[in-house]
Chains A and B, each alone.
Chain A
């Protein structure tokens, strides 16, 4: 893989790229030469190591991923007690390297073994024979195949009754290799862990494996009992815990300076004892700008372990003319050594706290102010003077081979010190986009309550508190302990997730009043909110405190707070990380009732898939600061009762195609100024839906309100809203408009074409336009298809409409008369107020009055019965 720097800098500034961890080396191959991929006139030499013992080894990414295991006890993957008693079974391992097939000493593929409590061991022997040890009530039994081909990449063993079959895959699929007649007793139901690459304390595997599976049948059919797939996309480079395809939590156990590692990107492993590469600049350099991405392994290596160093010919890097970025003695800090002077620049590096990280450092006279992950800057503290004068360089050690670092190197480059800040930022972006070295929270996140870092057991205080600190983050690198002093309220961690059991469980956190993006990964869904700067002192499963009695139960995988400047990409990467760790991507279950009730911190609610969620009752009610709800649809929501009431929404554009009730849904959303042409066609209950939406001046003509339902209730639907006009909606399925537009004092007109209740019966309109004091224009034909009226149907319907025109009175009465409906048995009044200054009642009005009276109606206009 060649690094194309042309997109970053021009040829004149790309001259000193030193190295990149190559992908061309084979697995575990010792690397004698690291090619310098730089181009241009300033190109230096390759980095070399002529002594085989001192050569770093390659762990190249194969495009899919694998678990590397070093053949050292303590390095293996494990799952606690995942299997019952196996009868017929299938064992299978894939993605093996040749060294596993012909190991130098016997290796364990996987096992469930503990002395006196064992189920099986699946091993590969030096002779190439597959060995299976089965433990059952009758005793332990050992079987082995003939030697399998040296080019085997996968091994499968099946037991059906007494027939044990060994199958191998040499790249073309599994074929039978050998058989055995075996005991057919059920295996012992061991409570020991399932271990990949080790059994108990023996036969550790040296090599790689991409997948391990166990089926509780002999045909490898159906869902396995265990499926640990290191190629799965949710498994990331360096993960030490992840949830495998069959749901179990897999732990990568690590020990020593060559630890078992999930490999998802190419690294060059330096052993921290004698590995190192050296080279020549082919010129004398006086400065540079270095970028290196790597992770620290084990104990970090030797005292003063070098990441990168340079020296004058015949001198050392710590002397005049030389420089180095190195470990400070045996501490966990980075120290810059420059021209014989020194300065400590970063902490918590050589203890492995930072995982993979990207170190960038200007190396020039008066400026060695480095950053890690685009953060943790020295802020002018590192200003060692004078230019250096170096001809030789070292990677992972100095040029004398001392100061050996224990690291996995992913990338290293040295640019001229003349690159601009913008160019340096581009290099960082380039490296991170390609290698995914760090995420935004590591740069300037405020906290990350990472369930994998939670103390196991109830979260209490002291050593059992949960720290949200982000090492190295500009805004988050200080202790932020979440605690809980009431025993009954303590969530419980298993080291992978934190379980909130009921509505009492919550955590107290140090006060924070920081706006930003909160990303919350849970078993109920993974949610993103923009939050305001309100002071917060508590965490619940779904984020900050809302309604205490409505706290939710479930598993928490992590909560992150990113700065407001985080991009959509930053946010989605954080969300994806939590999902990869086990959080549900979409909302689970059928109910999100009261999930975010009274969350006054949420400003913006980002999109998430609500498929399958039928009940969102009170979901976002009283989210008083929430101006935006960016969910395009609640596709299966039937109960939207009071979901957004008293929230701060300024607009709403979410389809509710299956909603059956949206009563009170947006009631008292005083800032709601825009309501989209949303689909709510199946809904039967719009009671008080938009009541009190004082900023809502218009309503969309394209909205579908109960158009596919019957007996739809619009009582108080737009009461006291800010409507100034109302479109010609099709409201023919409505039969209850009681107080529907009551006190809409700004409403001046309804659009011609509106049609009420043509498909309804027992229709109530009393008080529908009561006190619409600005209503002038009521359109014709609105009631032409009107169905059977209820008692009091038009009582007080237009009472207090003091601006209503005489023509509107005509339109109302003529249309009701046109409907042909007789007055109800009780409450036959049609009550209208109108503005007499607009004229006297027309002849058509009088004709309609006469006709209506003949049908039993009593028409009252301006308090006079006609």
Chain B
């Protein structure tokens, strides 16, 4: 998985993603969206841990057709480094805040 073999995306609008999915299925003559598809259903994309609403996903370049149009609202192309960093995002540790609260109680 690298920037040469894959494209990486942050999708934030479900409707626009579904349009990409459905247009791609039609272009590939896949029989039914419910049984076969070229990319995953929205719910199977990776939840962006930072926003908990947008989705992360990578697509093999070998499977992309010229007719697949990614230029639309809610589709942000990112690089591998950003993709991995966002997948591994963690909320900040809250121990310090907790400690301060405890100290304030004493003082």
Contacts and interface: CB of A to CB of B under 8 A. Distances in A.
Interface of A: 485-489, 501-504, 548-550, 553, 594, 687-688, 715-716, 738-739, 766-767, 770, 795-796, 799, 831
A503 B58 contact: yes
A275 to B, nearest CB: 51
Contact of A488 (B35, B56, B59, B99): B59
A487 B63 contact: yes
Given A487-B37, A501-B5, 10 more contacts: A488-B39, A503-B1, A504-B57, A550-B87, A687-B93, A716-B95, A767-B102, A796-B102, A796-B106, A799-B106
A502 B58 contact: yes
B42 interface: no
A501 B6 CA distance: 10
Contacts of A796: 102-103, 106
Interface string B19-55: 0000000001010000111111000101100000000
Contacts of A767: 99, 102-103
Nearest to A719: B95
A501 B40 contact: no
Given A501-B60, A738-B99, A486 B40 contact: yes
B59 to A, nearest CB: 6
Contacts of B58: 502-504
The 4 closest A-B pairs by CB, nearest first: A549-B46, A502-B1, A487-B38, A549-B87
A770 B93 CA distance: 19
Q: Which of A489, A502, A548, A688 has the most CB of B within 10 A?
A: A502
A739 B99 contact: yes
Given A485-B35, A488-B59, A549-B87, A504 B40 contact: yes
A424 to B, nearest CB: 50
A416 B59 CA distance: 65
Contact of A766 (B37, B56, B103): B103
A58 B6 CA distance: 54
Contacts of B59: 488
A501 B38 contact: no
Interface in B1-17: 1, 5-6
Contact of A485 (B5, B36, B46, B56): B36
Q: Which of A489, A501, A504 has the most CB of B within 10 A?
A: A504
Contacts of B102: 767, 770, 796
Nearest to B32: A485
A372 B65 CA distance: 51
B95 A688 contact: yes
Contact of B39 (A487, A548, A766): A487
A796 B99 CA distance: 10
Q: Which of A487, A548, A716, A770 has the most CB of B within 10 A?
A: A487
Contacts, number: 67
A687 B96 CA distance: 12
Contacts of B6: 502
Contact of B28 (A487, A504, A739, A770): A487
Contacts of B39: 486-488
30 contacts: A486-B36, A486-B38, A486-B44, A487-B28, A487-B30, A487-B36, A487-B37, A488-B40, A488-B60, A489-B40, A501-B5, A501-B60, A502-B6, A502-B58, A502-B60, A503-B58, A504-B57, A550-B87, A553-B1, A688-B93, A688-B95, A739-B95, A766-B99, A766-B103, A767-B99, A767-B102, A767-B103, A770-B102, A796-B103, A799-B106
Contact of A795 (B30, B40, B60, B103): B103
Contacts of A487: 28, 30, 36-39, 63
A802 to B, nearest CB: 14
A460 to B, nearest CB: 8
A766 B103 CA distance: 9
A799 B104 CA distance: 13
A792 to B, nearest CB: 8
Interface string B64-107: 00000000000000000000000110000101000100110010
A594 B59 CA distance: 21
Nearest to B98: A739
Contact of A715 (B37, B38, B63, B95): B95
A799 B59 CA distance: 55
Contacts of B106: 796, 799, 831
A770 B95 CA distance: 14
Nearest to A500: B1
Q: Which of B30, B57, B63, B102 has the most CB of A within 10 A?
A: B102
A590 to B, nearest CB: 15
A738 B97 CA distance: 12
Contacts of A488: 38-40, 59-60, 63
B106 to A, nearest CB: 6
A640 B39 CA distance: 35
A85 B37 CA distance: 43
A548 B43 CA distance: 12
A486 B37 contact: yes
A281 to B, nearest CB: 62
B105 to A, nearest CB: 9
Contacts of A504: 40, 57-58
B99 A548 contact: no
Contacts of A739: 95, 99
A245 B46 CA distance: 40
Contacts of A795: 103
B7 to A, nearest CB: 11
A399 to B, nearest CB: 58
A549 B5 CA distance: 18
A688 B87 CA distance: 23
A485 B40 contact: no
A553 B5 CA distance: 13
Nearest to A688: B95
A544 B35 CA distance: 22
A533 to B, nearest CB: 25
Contacts of B56: 549
Nearest to A617: B88
Contacts of A502: 1, 6, 58, 60
A12 to B, nearest CB: 66
A548 B60 contact: no
Contacts of B60: 488, 501-502
Contacts of B57: 504
Contacts of B103: 766-767, 795-796
A739 B101 CA distance: 13
Nearest to A860: B106
Q: Which of B58, B59, B99 has the most CB of A within 10 A?
A: B99
Nearest to A795: B103
Contacts of A550: 87
A377 B87 CA distance: 50
Contacts of A799: 106
Contacts of B28: 487
Contacts of A548: 44, 46
A713 to B, nearest CB: 12
Contacts of A738: 99
Contacts of A688: 93, 95
Contacts of A716: 95
A43 to B, nearest CB: 65
A504 B87 CA distance: 13
Contacts of A831: 106
A864 B92 CA distance: 36
Contacts of A553: 1
Contacts of B5: 501
Contacts of B35: 485
Nearest to B62: A501
A688 B93 CA distance: 10
A462 B60 CA distance: 23
B44 to A, nearest CB: 8
Given A488-B59, A550-B87, A766-B99, A501 B1 contact: yes
Nearest to B40: A486
A489 B93 CA distance: 34
